[in-house]
Amino acid sequence: MIFDEPNPSPSEPSAGSHEPVRRRRRRRRSSSDEGGSSSSRRRRGGESTFREATRLDQLPRHSADANTTAWLVVLVLLVAAVLGFAWYLHQERSAPDKLSGDAPSTLIMPFIDPILAPLETGTDGFSADNLSSVENALRSVRSKVNLDDQEVYATAMTLTQILGEAAADRQRHLARLLKLGSPVIGMAPDPSARTDIGEAEQKHLELAVGISWQRNSVIYRNRVEELWYRLLRLEQGRFREGSAPQSMVPPMPASSTNE
């Protein structure tokens, strides 16, 4: 009588257990293959990193040194340029010595009242050519002084330009009087003067011309006064004693009224 063994030997697995064993073996093989490939990749990555580091260490360092030197040179040049420009401005704006010669206000003052006076005074007391000569002289001096003192002469030149405009306007009003046949001091009679108007109408037209000039002269005087007092402030302490000190500069001439 044959008896079956109740417990099979572990070394002899049953037929039903063959399939799981095969699967485990395949999994172990695949795991070992994956581990090998990852380790080989790590080895290759380490080798490539080592080669790159070796190449970087072998690169020449003179290019980096040259760039640093170039930047240092540029920086030194910039600093030198800034220092030079600052020194130039200091030299230009410093005025250790007072200016010699007449202050611009003393040259301009004789023209103010005669130009802005009523038309009855004619052309007495001023000359447009002399005013232009003063402006040219101021322009010449301005080109030779530093920046601070250039403002003095620039203001004086603006003042002479306004007076020049006023003189030209005054001349036009005087010419109108001549056209009416009215006598003007300092100007010859106009041969083409009107003779077809009566004395009353002539007086009326003369009065209208005088009022027109009076209105314009007030506008000019306001502009002149503003620049005049600014010029006096700029001249304060700029000129040597005895040439044109501030105490010798007369005040702004009083406005004249048309009688």
pLDDT tens profile 100-139: 677 899 899 999 999 999 999 998 888 888 999 999 999 9
Per residue in 71-98, pLDDT tens?
888 888 888 888 887 776 665 555 445 6
Question: Is residue 14 in some structural domain?
Answer: no
Mean of the per-residue pLDDT values of the chain: 75
Where is pLDDT greater, at 184 or 101?
184
Region label for 101, one of left (φ > 0), alpha (ψ between -120 and 50) or beta (otherwise): left
My answer on whether 39 and 134 are in the same domain is no
My answer on whether 53 and 128 are in the same domain is no
Q: Which structural domain range is residue 41 located in? A: 19-57
Where is pLDDT greater, at 212 or 141?
212
My answer on whether 195 and 128 are in the same domain is yes
Per-residue pLDDT band at 24 (split at 50, 70, 90): low
Give the pLDDT mean for 232-244. 69
Give the pLDDT mean for 173-180. 93
My answer on whether 44 and 160 are in the same domain is no
My answer on whether 52 and 110 are in the same domain is no
My answer on whether 36 and 117 are in the same domain is no
Give the pLDDT mean for 207-233. 94
**C-beta of residue 147 within 8 angstroms of C-beta of residue 95:** no
Residue 61 Cα to chain centre, angstroms: 46
Give the range among 11-15, 33-37, 168-172, 252-256 with minimum mean pLDDT.
252-256
- Number of structural domains the chain divides into: 2
d(Cα 7, Cα 136) in Å, to the nearest integer? 135
Is residue 247 exposed (0-12), middle (13-18) or buried (19+ Cβ within 10 Å)?
exposed
Give the pLDDT mean for 242-250. 42
Assess whether pLDDT exceeds 50 at residue 246: no
d(Cα 231, Cα 160) in Å, to the nearest integer? 12
Assess whether pLDDT exceeds 80 at residue 13: no
My answer on whether 109 and 188 are in the same domain is yes
**Over pLDDT 70: what percentage of the chain?**
63
Give the range among 121-125, 157-161, 164-168 with minimum mean pLDDT.
121-125
